[in-house]
Copies of this chain bind each other. A is one copy, B any other.
């Protein structure tokens, strides 16, 4: 209400224009629908957690935003609350707080924002939206839930109107078993070294395996061979077996990872694939079995746009432990760079599929009545702002991307509807006309941006 200088965007806090927001909504709606079809309940947590919850093992290693009450007394100004930096910490706290009121196994999805104070860069924001699915049980979580979580995220990703995605998966049991079978004394050390294979040349990794982990040359070579196995099906089993390493834990890992691949077998599509990728470990995080990373094709420079895995203990309250398995997908991480580069947008800036034209101000009631009849049948409709010449009303629709302009009947004539893309104008019955299904709501559409000539 007061007058201000023109505001400028805040770095790291991306905001979308209406057409871009419609693309984001299409993605969120698709994710939500996929998760709900599989019985995952929606959860929304408060944005704040006590600071000691945000600390990991006593130490806070994330850039956290702390809340202070502006009007509070100086000494009490810090609220002791910080904005959550992911959706896992609040989920763990929620499960512990409400354990007695929840039914386990508890499947939940959470599509919400999180905040980190770190320096913004492409694909990394201070405020970002992510979509998490997790299944959490009491005491024990059978392995088939790993397959279930992979499948629900795979189905969700397969239908996204975004560049091709891959859900890459591995088993920490498989790699740990392999290293143990090799006779390695400290498998965690090997995981830490080979995990850097995407950033460090293979030669250097091999040298580290020999010098730092004490492997001989042959064994170091076998570690590298394992890490190079990547298959779209269960053929990785044969390839691991051919390396000649034996261990009980390796067997279990191979069986489990094969089950994940089998479970997702039906879901591969043009825009999506599931792969066993035996170099994936998710660092030294708390994952204990299956692990996942999500990559977007052509945008590998963004790094992974999601990931997750199985953890033996989301939270423990002494008497009870809650193991879980989950995957997180970065909505802002994947979408905002596409929206900012202009390779993705919404098919229109408004939800309206129809603009009802206005002959003159006196016939506004007529145009309103047509709009109400179309809305009553689920067709988003708006009425022209002013009784301008029809050519200007059509351009009004065009600027918003509204595909149809409706001309109410005058005198004895019938209503007509114009598809402003083709220019086709036909008689139409306001009580029965339907737009094509793909025009009913805004969609996310890819724009073909001309590559610059080299």
Contacts and interface: CB of A to CB of B under 8 A. Distances in A.
Interface of A: 1-4, 6-10, 13-18, 21-22, 25, 36-48, 50-53, 56-57, 60, 63-72, 78-79, 81-83, 88-89, 92-94, 96-98, 101-103, 105, 107-108, 113, 117, 127, 142, 144, 266, 286, 311, 313-318, 349-352, 364, 372, 375, 378-382, 385-386, 396, 399-400, 441
Contacts of A381: 37-39
A313 B4 CA distance: 12
Q: Which of A25, A70, A381 has the most CB of B within 10 A?
A: A70
A108 B349 CA distance: 10
12 contacts: A1-B88, A13-B48, A21-B42, A22-B41, A25-B42, A40-B350, A40-B351, A41-B351, A51-B70, A66-B67, A66-B70, A142-B386
A36 B380 contact: yes
A48 B311 CA distance: 34
A1 B52 CA distance: 13
Please state the number of chain copies in the assembly: 2
Given A36-B380, A103-B349, A67 B69 contact: no
A98 B53 contact: no
Contact of A7 (B10, B97, B127): B97
A7 B47 contact: no
B46 A127 contact: yes
A352 B21 contact: no
A315 B103 CA distance: 49
A113 B44 CA distance: 11
A46 to B, nearest CB: 4
Contacts of A364: 144
A280 B203 CA distance: 77
B314 A15 contact: no
A400 B317 contact: no
Contact of A38 (B16, B108, B380): B380
Closest 9 CB pairs of A and B: A39-B382, A36-B351, A39-B352, A13-B46, A18-B41, A69-B117, A37-B375, A64-B70, A65-B67
Nearest to A12: B46
A253 to B, nearest CB: 21
Contacts of A102: 17-18
Contacts of A67: 65-68, 83
B43 A117 contact: no
B79 A69 contact: no
A38 B1 contact: no
B315 A4 contact: yes
Contact of A63 (B37, B70, B142, B372): B70
A99 to B, nearest CB: 9
A351 B39 contact: yes
A281 B143 CA distance: 62
Contact of A399 (B103, B316, B372, B380): B103
Given A2-B56, A10-B46, A18-B108, 19 more contacts: A1-B88, A1-B286, A4-B93, A4-B317, A13-B48, A15-B45, A21-B43, A25-B42, A37-B380, A41-B350, A41-B351, A47-B47, A47-B113, A63-B70, A64-B70, A67-B67, A103-B349, A103-B400, A105-B385
